[in-house]
Structure 1
Amino acid sequence: MPELLGPVEVRALAKELDVRPTKKLGQNFVHDTNTVRRIVTASGVTGDDVALEVGPGLGSLTLALLPVCKAVVAVEIDPVLAARLPATAAEFAPSFASRLSVVGADAMRVTADQLGAAPTALVANLPYNVSVPIVLHLLAELPSLQTGLVMVQSEVADRMAAGPGSRVYGVPSVKLAWYADARRAGPVPRSVFWPVPNVDSALVAFTRRESPSTVSREALFALVDAAFAQRRKTLRAALATWAGSPDRAGQLLTAAGVDPSSRGEQLGIADFVRIAEAAQ
């Protein structure tokens, strides 16, 4: 099995590369070997999986994934880190280094063609400032992606996994539910990162499921955005512009079996699908 990166190795690599973790890129490097092992185990990846890792950084999680997966595709926006990662794999996991491919790209815009493989599982410590857009983009761009386990800010984890009626249920909750069933998969202590972040972290697991409708994703997402743009308003009022008028909104909601006086946070993905279908 490969040697993993502990605090000493992480700091040595950072010093060698003159890397100073930046807030702009959301960089906090994991230096606790038990945590990366726990993430790999919780992800459920096997030798049949092609794992997609976003923001591998210095390679802590990468090294733990390599012996378990058929292949690991790492997407890294920082050119210095992207260039060093294959050498780190060769040094610490020589028997498995050939399983790694590194793509120097922005995960918010990366395409299936750029990846060269068809990832089946997303396993990543995501940049916290763009974690939800990255997950949604990858699920849209990569139909092969079936499961995921991502580390995000704790409050974001709550929103991603929230159900209707929850105080934190909103646009991220519904849009992720369009693609997958999501759940919180446990907290991650601040002490496992360098530098220590000033926010709490948590894991979110998701499993893709069949699309809930033949309605286009764009149409459904436009409806969801409108429903939550004015949270205090009833759906009849909130969807007035989207539908063309308050009366038309009321008609569509009634046709979909949704009370026009309800609010967006009370509706599940199936409710939004019925409204979008009624508008077709």
Structure 2
Amino acid sequence: MSLLGPVEIRALAESLGVRPTKKLGQNFVHDPNTVRRIVATADLAPDDVVLEVGPGLGSLTLALLPACAAVVAVEIDPVLAARLPATVEDRAPELADRLTVVCDDAMKVSTLPLAPTALVANLPYNVAVPVVLHLLAVVPTLRRVLVMVQAEVADRMAAGPGGRVYGVPSVKIAWYASARRVATVPRAVFWPVPNVDSALVLLERREQPDADRDAVFAVIDAAFAQRRKTLRAALAGWAGSAAAAEAALVAAGVDPGARGEQLAVGDFVRIAQHAHTRR
């Protein structure tokens, strides 16, 4: 099987009349070594079913197919979605039956034809975190996630409490999984070349807290809406008053004078639970 290089990527795009668009966040990977590295880092098992979001012209798809049982590729662009099976048939005919293409917006997908166990994708920068959070919520069979995102986004996804970039994405990701940045990806492997660096971030699902997710996420959103405020002040609107917020914080064992960036996901869970019991 031959992977797609720069010449093949441009020729394929030209044949389809495809021009990468900023609206869809399209930056196609054209370096075979990069996609091999992504697949190796994903550490897939032969029985894994991989969910790929935004397969584009098929660079990563071709590298994934030999490493797993099946790939479910979700592509929002109908032209690219229609072409992907033919690209696989041309370059890896013996693996073509492992590919299922879903032409849809990954942010709106609620059911899939198979039960993916891993998400491996080069995600559009502008929707990376919402897509990951949505898929972790609606695809409970996902055990592992390896996504290529803007380096700054990778840092936010993997950040721990107390860090400068720790925020809403960090805590909400932590609800579902442990996260760590595992590699940097140079700009030159993309077409067109982006003006930011990229990185791979690895998420491994863990048992979710025994709590109402929506209630906990509401606390998280309120706590970070005005980062400079203490939790007593930041949660006043959410709790109904500053006094009610302070009571919930004290009951949860959290300092009312602390700020959201100092709390781990478990702290937010306790705050939500105590607020719930007090209402």
TM-score range normalised by the length of the shorter chain: over 0.9
1:133 to 86, 108, 130: 130
Residue of structure 1 equivalent to 2:9:
10
| TM-score of the pair, normalised by structure 1 | 0.98
> Secondary structure of the residue that 2:140 maps to in structure 1?
coil
Residue of structure 2 equivalent to 1:277:
273
Distance 1:97 1:46 in 2: 19
1:216 CA drift (Å): 1.2
1:116 CA drift (Å): 0.7
1:111 CA drift (Å): 1.4
Structure 2 residue ranges without an equivalent (≥5): none
1:265 CA drift (Å): 0.2
Structure 1 residue ranges without an equivalent (≥5): none
1:255 aligns with 2:251: yes
1:155 CA drift (Å): 0.4
1:161 CA drift (Å): 0.3
1:78 CA drift (Å): 0.2
1:198 CA drift (Å): 0.7
Q: Partner amino acid for 1:129?
A: N
Q: Partner amino acid for 1:207?
A: E
Identity of aligned residues (%): 73
Residue of structure 1 equivalent to 2:143:
146
Distance 2:178 2:82 in 1: 35
Equivalent runs, 1:92-131 vs 2, <5 Å: 92-112=91-111, 115-131=112-128
Distance 1:278 1:151 in 2: 37
Deviations 1:132-180 (A, max 9, x none): 0000000000000110100000100000000000000000000000000
Residue of structure 2 equivalent to 1:85:
84
2:202 to 202, 205, 214: 205
Distance 1:18 1:198 in 2: 24
1:177 aligns with 2:189: no
1:227 CA drift (Å): 0.3
> Secondary structure of the residue that 1:174 maps to in structure 2?
helix
1:185 CA drift (Å): 1.0
1:239 aligns with 2:238: no
RMSD over aligned Cα atoms? 0.6
Deviations 1:60-108 (A, max 9, x none): 0000000111000000000000000000000011111110000000001
Residue of structure 2 equivalent to 1:33:
32
1:48 CA drift (Å): 1.1
Distance 1:58 1:185 in 2: 25
Residue of structure 1 equivalent to 2:188:
191
Q: Which runs of 4+ in 1 moved over 6 A?
A: none
Distance 2:45 2:8 in 1: 27
Residue of structure 1 equivalent to 2:43:
44
1:277 CA drift (Å): 1.2
Aligned length: 276
1:261 CA drift (Å): 0.2
> Secondary structure of the residue that 1:56 maps to in structure 2?
coil
Distance 2:214 2:43 in 1: 31
Distance 2:255 2:107 in 1: 36
